[in-house]
Structure 1
Amino acid sequence: MSSFVVLLISHFWLISCIYGITRWDVFSTKTNYKWSHFSSATTDDGFMFSTGSKTCNAIHVSMVSRHGARWPSDGDMEDIKELHRNIIESKPSTVYPELDSWIPRYNESDEKQLTTEGKKEQEDLGARLGIRFKTLFNNNGKNVKFVSSSKSRTKDSNEYFHKGLSAGVQSVIEYTNEVNDGIVRPYDDCDNYEETVESDENMKEFNKFSKSSVLVNIIDSVKEKLGISFDVSDDDITIINELCAHEKAIFNEDAVWCNLLTDEERRILEYRSDIENYYEASYGHQINTKISCPLIGDMFHTMDNAINNPWNYSNVAAHGYLAGKFYNGHSETLLPLMTSLELFKDNASLLSTNMAAMANRKFKTSIIDPSSANLAFVLYVCNDSDTTDRSFMVKLFVNEKPVSIPACRGDMCTYETVRQYYSDLIDKCDLEAICDDDICDDDDATCRASGMDTSLAILLLLVLFCKIL
């Protein structure tokens, strides 16, 4: 056995021995970007490629990012403190004495704000993009735009992303940020979403799994380890799991909380979280395949504008189209967007009964939707060296890696093919109709049930009114 292999095995044994955890890329949407993705960048490695006799240069980047790692919400902070108090009051003092001296360092003033790591994630992401497309943004740094939701964590994320982009390009990049919840948070004030997606009927698989024997076994295991007798809920177990992630991400410490769960138990909790996200923000409900249409339309109309200007693309500044548009939103922005684009779709739905069969699922939020998750369309102009023909190609990247585009089942498609494939989302987007709780899709059982409940209520009111008369 080589010394390198021995060193590697020793390294992982030491991590397991000291930290009690060997995998950090299983914390669902609480996963830090660097835990599930390692990225580096080379100057202009995304700017140009050749295909046949054609040379293609990037002329536009549309990128949608989730905000960087953040502090817990004020509600989660209170739950953390309450659970800690309950455990301390119930457990024997000789069991996990580290919990007695553990002090919650979560302040309401920080709630949902970017952590130091979250700021770094966004700055590094921007820097890598600048390096990969250095020529594009060096020439056209004044022709970029930033869009965020109204939340401070997304506005701050755009500022740090811009800072990194400027550093990567090593030139001044103009910065103007537009707040547009209609594009980045279309689910806000969407009646159909609130009444059907968040209903017990739609979330029944999540609720079943939360009461399943595998979750009960985890609860019993934690209670036995702590020597406590009070009722521990499935949500308490989630808090313990997320506390492990928070302590590592925010304070770079591996707290005692990490030792209360095994790697296998964390994978079970990851699946539970994936079920929740699957039905709330992805393929589990029909509305999630459409609700991102304002964002998709804005991205493609911006690319249309770039294509419809027949000029020298090395001199964008003289003509005014956007060389880059950068949107910063939330998990609920990225997952419906990926869903609308038909990415990471498994052959089977995530159910309370098929966890083992879905072990290698595509819809794994720890990988596709960590903090600072990102999706980018890159538009290229391609010139043929043998003719004067010019065409446009597009690539799609998720978390800085190329992915196959459903429109052509390849990692590079003609722009016309991709645009036609998503044409209904681009040109026929009617968010008001999508969000009208009186309008249902034929295949949307949850929506039909909601509509029938409304109709029945109206009928009963009419009967009551007639009796009064």
Structure 2
Amino acid sequence: WPMWYEESLDGRLAPQGRRDMEQLARRMAARFPALFAARRRLALASSSKHRCLQSGAAFRRGLGPTLDFGGDEVEVEVNDSLMRFFDHCAKFVALVEENDTAMSQVNTFKEGPEMKKVLEKVASALCLPVEELNADLVQVAFLTCSYELAIKNVTSPWCSLFSEEDAKVLEYLNDLKQYWKRGYGYDINSRSSCILFQDIFQHLDKAVEESKSSKPISSPLIVQVGHAETLQPLLALMGYFKDHEPLLANNYGRQAQRKFRSGRIVPYAANLVFVLYHCDHVNASQEEYQVQLLLNERLLPFHHSNETTSTYTDLKDYYKDILENCHFKEECELPQVNVTAVDEL
């Protein structure tokens, strides 16, 4: 097996990633031709990370020269406070990101019977004593297998080390990490994303107001490019993919049918789209503005109705608490430690 990966590739968008974003843009334009029509304004925001800026550029390129979004060099607004809100949330950084005990379920699973079985099989296949391997090394081999498939479309020799059952165990290990670090494990994981959730609804509110005043929509198309770590907490905030039972180190067997599968929720080029419709000929005024939600280009049913279309009013009512009472500054403040004044004793 030739080692092709170089450090210079770290954090960069792979050629396959560029193609994914260009093709996503083309499919979106075909699905929503009125939104992507010539001379409609495209507002593009991105995380400061190089791969996100490259993803945004690839998306723009995918729309082709026929769409006049102000030339090829669309102004990209770097906005880490929205796209990397987790970096700016002191409570998340201290209690989850930099807290070793926060990942206790992940570490326990690494030492558990399911991982032990995988370790023994891999050690035997490599003719190594099992003591020379650990869960992290086995995970690197599994990720190398998956990266080569995703990036180069080849079946890596590293894949031959794993059976389908081994892959399920390693998938669960990754899901455990995502669950406790970006999902439902701790409230702050999702609450830190309310700044982005509220930003989305501010854009939708503005479009509704402009439409009601018969003004042209100032930002008909807004593309924000972030990370899996941006999207996963947002979907948790909205209540999606929540299982009855939390993901734990000791319930692997019971989680075979779990909803929380990060590889399906936030795959490469994952995308969440809010589509606002202005509907004529409706029975009631609150039906005039309706919304659909697409995750990875598939309609996502709304929680409050289990339908794939909702009135904008009903959607705002359902998320009223998050929209009005989730304040990023307060949510992310570290709790003050009470210090008793010694001189009072």
TM-score by length of 2: 0.92
1:216 is the counterpart of 2:113? no
Asked if structure 1 preserves the Cα contact closer than 8 Å seen for 2:96 and 2:102, the reply is: yes
Which of 65, 69, 91 does residue 173 from structure 1 map onto? 69
Contact 2:13–2:51 at 8 Å: present in 1 too? yes
Q: Indicate the structure whose relative CO is greater, using CA pairs within 8 Å and at least 6 residues apart.
A: 1
Q: Decide whether the 8 Å contact of 1:205 with 1:351 is kept in 2.
A: yes
Preserved contact between residue 383 and residue 389 of structure 1 (Cα < 8 Å): no
1:344 and 1:363 in contact (8 A); partners too: yes
Match of 1:205 among 95, 105, 115: 105
* Residues 13-412 of structure 1 mapped to structure 2, 5 A cutoff: 102-138=1-37, 141-166=39-64, 170-174=66-70, 175-198=74-97, 199-229=99-129, 231-310=132-211, 319-384=216-281, 391-412=288-309
Deviation at 1:251, TM superposition (A): 2.6
Contact 1:408 1:417 in 2 (8 A): no
Runs of 4+ in structure 1 off by over 3 angstroms are 310-313, 385-390
Structure 1 residue ranges without an equivalent (≥5) = 1-101, 440-453
Which amino acid in structure 1 is aligned with residue 194 of structure 2?
Answer: C
- Please state how far the C-alpha of 1:307 moved relative to its aligned partner: 0.5
Q: Is the 8 A contact 1:122 1:164 kept in 2?
A: yes
SS of the residue corresponding to residue 253 of structure 2 reads coil
- Change in Cα spacing, 1:294 to 1:307, as seen in structure 2 (3 Å) is same
Would the alpha carbon gap of residues 466 and 381 (structure 1) be closer, same or farther in structure 2, given more than 3 Å must change?
A: closer
Task: Tell me the secondary structure at the aligned position of residue 255 of structure 2.
Answer: coil
User: Structure 2: how far apart are the matches of 1:350 and 1:292?
Assistant: 21
Classify 1:337/1:192 alpha carbon distance in 2 versus 1 (closer, same or farther; 3 Å): same
The aligned counterpart of 1:67 is none
Give the match's secondary structure for 1:134: coil
In structure 2, relative to structure 1, the CA distance for the partners of 1:376 and 1:385 (3 Å cut) is closer
Do residues 431 (structure 1) and 340 (structure 2) align? Answer: no
* 1:188 match: secondary structure: helix
**CA displacement, residues 351-405 of structure 1 (integer Å, 9 cap, x when unaligned):** 1111121111111111111111111110001111789997101011111000111
Contact 1:247 1:254 in 2 (8 A): yes
The change in CA–CA distance for 1:196 and 1:387 in structure 2 (over 3 A counts) is: closer
- 1:244-293 deviations in Å (ceiling 9; x for gaps): 01222223322210101111101110011101100100111011231111
| Matching residue of 1:72 | none
Q: Deviations over 1:134-163 (max 9, x none)?
A: 122215x43220111110100110111111
Cα deviation for residue 202 of structure 1 reads 2.7
Q: Secondary structure at the match of 2:77?
A: strand
The one-character-per-residue Cα deviations of 1:54-79 (angstroms, maximum 9, x if unpaired) are: xxxxxxxxxxxxxxxxxxxxxxxxxx
**CA 1:264–1:381: 2 relative to 1, 3 Å:** same
Secondary structure of the 1:227 match is coil
Report the Cα distance in structure 1 between the residues aligned to 2:105 and 2:86, rounded to whole angstroms: 22
Question: Residue 195 of structure 1 aligns to which amino acid in structure 2?
Answer: A
Partner of 1:49: none
Contact kept, 8 Å, 1:165 with 1:173, in 2: the verdict is: no
Instruction: Answer whether contact 2:286 2:313 (CA < 8 A) is retained.
Output: no
Deviations 1:25-53 (A, max 9, x none): xxxxxxxxxxxxxxxxxxxxxxxxxxxxx
Q: Is the 8 A contact 1:145 1:324 kept in 2?
A: yes
Question: What is the CA–CA distance in structure 2 between the aligned matches of 1:298 and 1:389, rounded to whole Å?
Answer: 22
- Residues 366 and 310 of structure 1: is their aligned pair in 2 closer, same or farther, counting only changes over 3 Å? closer
Counterparts of 2:282 and 2:299, CA distance in 1: 26
Give the secondary-structure state (helix, strand or coil) at the position aligned to 2:101: coil
**Does structure 1 conserve the Cα–Cα contact (< 8 Å) formed by 2:191 and 2:237?**
yes
Contact conserved, 1:218 with 1:265, CA < 8 A, in 2? yes
SS of the aligned residue for 2:36 comes to helix
- Structure whose alpha-carbon radius of gyration is higher: 1
Structure 2 SS opposite 1:137: coil
How many matched pairs?
Answer: 340
Asked if structure 2 preserves the Cα contact closer than 8 Å seen for 1:166 and 1:173, the reply is: no
SS in 2 for 1:419: helix
CA 1:144/1:423 → structure 2, altered by over 3 Å: closer, same or farther? farther
Q: Distance in 2 between matches of 1:245 and 1:345?
A: 26
Runs of 5+ consecutive residues of structure 2 not aligned to the other structure: none
Cα distance between partner residues in 2 of 1:326 and 1:166: 16
Whether contact under 8 Å (2:35, 2:221) holds in the other structure is: no
TM-score (norm 1): 0.68
SS of corresponding position for 2:85: coil
**In the TM superposition, what is the alpha-carbon distance from 1:338 to its structure 2 partner?**
0.4
Aligned equivalents of 2:306 and 2:206: distance in 1?
A: 25
Note closer, same or farther for the CA distance 1:110–1:320 as it changes in structure 2 (3 Å cut): same
Contact 1:183–1:295 (CA under 8 A) maintained in structure 2: yes
Return the letter of the residue paired with 1:404.
Answer: P
